[in-house]
A = this chain, B = another copy of it.
Amino acid sequence: MRRTEYPGAIRDLIAQLRQMPGVGPRSAERIALWIVQARGDQPKEIARAITETRATVRPCKRCGFFTTDEVCEICADTARTADLLCVVEQPTDILPLERTSAFRGRYHSLGGRISPLDHIGPDDLRIKELLERVEKEHFTEIIFALAADVEGEATTNYLVELLKGKPVTLTRIAHGLPAGGGLESADELTLYQALSGRTKL
């Protein structure tokens, strides 16, 4: 006896929804059944928003952040400090930094980090663009805000090597104890870095 299942269209929808990050089989089914049964236009609007976003959003020509224009809101903002540059791995790293309000300069997203295991080398990143910006925009300081892991560190070191002849101060964001984190929950490397990076009171 054949097992009863949802019609093919619903099964296909569930399979498609499962591709979204954080959506497992049960939530995909729940969302799909909501899409089938919704009385309003919401599912149509969701499909439209997906299509529209894919058609209009692209990387900023200068820094790599998201924009619907040539150049993003941050690069176009003349009120921002033009002599500070913050280098990040991904465009998604920019808003978390913005939300701290601790930095009002420009950004440069590399689009990833050097990772031999994933076959990502320097040529796969926006490093040529970074060097061109350093020549043209005359920054006084470049802050590296890459991940505090082996590949993030290796990418930072690689870029520091490339840039150390230039007339610009190179800095890196601090590594140490996260806010609210007790010593007992910190791993050895974090504590080592917190100790090495201690600041005078």
Contacts and interface: CB of A to CB of B under 8 A. Distances in A.
A140 interface: no
A68 B7 contact: yes
A164 B98 CA distance: 68
Given A12-B49, A13-B50, A47-B51, A36 B57 contact: yes
B43 A54 contact: yes
A36 B90 CA distance: 13
A70 interface: no
The interface residues of chain A, by DSSP majority, are classed as helix
Interface stretch (A23-31, A125-133, A149-157, A176-184): A23-31
Contact of A45 (B10, B16, B36, B42): B16
Contact of A44 (B44, B51, B67): B51
A2 to B, nearest CB: 8
B34 A68 contact: no
